[in-house]
């Protein structure tokens, strides 16, 4: 369609200069508890030298801490279409836990997650959480409760933002690698266990997320010079990267007594992201004075993906056996708020975990068999994070969209409160053995 060609052409021009990643969900991420440790260069050979010391990151050995993670949420979907229902999610999650750092590389965390929907006198979910984490260098392995949902970093057609609110726990195993040129993680979430003569199917999910950094260039911009002396300067960072993402969902098993067919669904995405960002903070003498003059425009970005779906089941139960989509985004982060314009063109696309608006098959209560093979949506997102300090962040979002098929405009709005902090309890010492 003419609009698609125009929008894509504008993005290609824009891409020559800027870009970024998925939605700015940093306020919802799990906090990394590693601390920076500086040691002399003769102690750890082979590490990168920073001045006269090496900078490495390690867990604070022997510490016992109380961690409190709380998410308060209000999300109102004012939808009236036949693909995605309109409803309101209103409640909170509470996840207290004890964290013990057995060594510089090992952390043990045990607690419980409580999910409460307002208007329901009972808790929707009360689930124990346990995570054993081994971290060394660029590598991290987690066993138990995963750094899941928005921590995965999927785009919305592959992973619905609302799963953070309604399906907060994934349990299994996860591997994370963070390097200068490559970031990746892979995970398995064992969702439903099956036992002998079970009436339910075994359900397993898994995925892979990677980001290949093609370019990362930093320029130092001098803001103020007086008598030849630099009073303040800012960092400008340009990035170009290639994201590759994949999810899989399997339902089956061999020891159940039901006759439901096996289901295996794959979703994937590949794209290109680019960004140009300007640091908020200045450095140099009198920098505190000039930090009050933060720039209005913080960053520009574009992120564009080709998305695919395939049903590898022996017996097909879904209305489409394969499908695809084009997901184009351009945005700007400003001092007032963050703005992102998105275009979605779907063709027979279905996703087990993806956002409901991107589907070509209905997820509604009253129109469950409705299909809309071609989906064309234009979305505007207005987002703002308020950092209140001490681990407390408020987030507001307004997300209207226009549906070209039905010529209608609908929207969703959300308010979120994130509190994530640690309280030091004591430092434990294990008994030494002779």
pLDDT mean over 169-177: 98
What band does 36 get if pLDDT is binned at 50, 70 and 90?
Answer: very low
Specify whether the CB–CB gap between 421 and 84 falls below 8 A.
no
DSSP 8-state code for residue 358: G
d(CA 251, CA 266): 12
Render pLDDT for 324-350 as a digit per residue (tens, 0 to 9).
999 999 999 999 999 999 999 999 999
Task: Provide the pLDDT confidence category of residue 227 given band limits of 50, 70 and 90.
Answer: low
Burial degree of 334 (CB within 10 A; 0-12, 13-18, 19+): middle
Does residue 19 have a pLDDT over 60? no
Secondary element (H or E) of residue 334 = strand 322-334
Closest CA to 167 of 143, 146, 144: 146
What pLDDT, on a 0 to 100 scale, did the predictor assign at position 22? Answer: 65
144-153, pLDDT tens digit by residue? 999 999 999 9
At residue 60, does pLDDT exceed 80?
yes
What are the two backbone dihedrals, phi and then psi, of residue 28, each rounded to the nearest 5 degrees? -100, 0
**Residue 337, CA distances (Å) to 61, 386, 395 in order:** 40, 10, 11
Q: Is pLDDT at 292 greater than 90 in this prediction?
A: no
- State yes or no: pLDDT of 221 exceeds 80: no
Closest residue by Cα to residue 386 from 377, 375, 395: 395
pLDDT, one tens digit per residue, over 361-399 is 999 999 999 999 999 999 999 999 999 988 899 999 999
Q: Which pLDDT score is estimated for 379?
A: 98
Q: Are strands 53-58 and 229-252 parallel, antiparallel or unpaired?
A: unpaired
Rounded to whole angstroms, how far apart are CA atoms 215 and 233? 22
The C-alpha angle 412, 26, 298, rounded to 5 degrees, equals 90
Distance between CA atoms of 305 and 318, rounded to whole angstroms? 24
d(CA 126, CA 234): 47
Mean pLDDT (the chain) is: 85
Confidence of residue 53 (pLDDT cuts 50, 70, 90): very low
Q: pTM (2 decimals)? A: 0.84
pLDDT tens column, 97-127: 999 999 999 999 999 999 999 999 999 999 9
pLDDT of residue 56: 45
């Amino acid at each position: 369609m003419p609009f698609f060609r125009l929008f894509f052409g504008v993005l290609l021009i824009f891409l020559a200069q800027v870009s970024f990643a998925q939605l700015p969900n940093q306020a919802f991420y799990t906090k990394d508890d590693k601390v920076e440790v500086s040691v002399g260069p003769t102690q750890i050979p082979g590490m990168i030298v920073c001045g006269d010391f090496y900078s490495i990151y390690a867990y604070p050995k022997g510490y016992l801490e109380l961690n409190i993670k709380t998410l308060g949420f209000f999300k109102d979907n004012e939808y009236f279409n036949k693909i995605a229902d309109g409803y309101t999610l209103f409640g909170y999650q509470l996840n207290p836990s004890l964290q013990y750092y057995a060594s510089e590389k090992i952390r043990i965390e045990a607690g419980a997650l409580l999910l409460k929907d307002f208007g329901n006198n009972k808790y929707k979910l009360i689930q124990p959480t346990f995570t054993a984490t081994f971290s060394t260098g660029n590598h991290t392995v987690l066993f138990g409760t995963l750094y899941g949902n928005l921590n995965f970093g999927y785009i919305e057609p592959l992973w619905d933002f609302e799963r953070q609110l309604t399906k907060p726990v994934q349990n299994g195993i996860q591997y994370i690698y963070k390097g200068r040129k490559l970031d990746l993680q892979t995970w398995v979430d064992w969702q439903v266990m099956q036992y002998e003569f079970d009436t339910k199917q075994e359900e397993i999910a898994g995925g892979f997320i990677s980001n290949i950094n093609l370019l990362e260039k930093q320029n130092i911009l001098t803001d103020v010079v007086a008598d030849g002396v630099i009073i303040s300067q800012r960092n400008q960072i340009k990035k170009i990267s290639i994201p590759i993402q994949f999810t899989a969902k399997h339902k089956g098993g061999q020891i159940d007594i039901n006759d439901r067919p096996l289901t295996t669904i794959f979703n994937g995405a590949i794209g290109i992201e680019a960004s140009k960002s300007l640091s908020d903070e200045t450095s140099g003498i009198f920098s505190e004075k000039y930090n009050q003059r933060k720039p209005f425009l913080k960053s520009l970005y574009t992120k564009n993906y080709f998305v695919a779906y395939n049903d590898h089941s022996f017996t097909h139960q879904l209305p489409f056996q394969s499908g695809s989509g084009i997901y184009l985004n351009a945005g700007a982060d400003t001092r007032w708020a963050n703005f992102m314009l998105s275009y979605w063109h779907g063709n027979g696309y279905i996703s087990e975990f993806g956002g409901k608006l991107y589907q070509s098959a209905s997820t509604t209560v009253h129109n469950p068999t409705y299909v809309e093979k071609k989906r064309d949506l234009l979305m505007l997102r207005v987002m703002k994070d308020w950092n209140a300090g001490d681990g407390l962040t408020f987030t507001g979002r307004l997300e209207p969209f226009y549906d070209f098929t039905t010529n209608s405009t609908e929207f969703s709005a959300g308010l979120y409160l994130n509190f994530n902090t640690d309280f030091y309890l004591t430092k434990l010492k294990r008994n030494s053995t002779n």
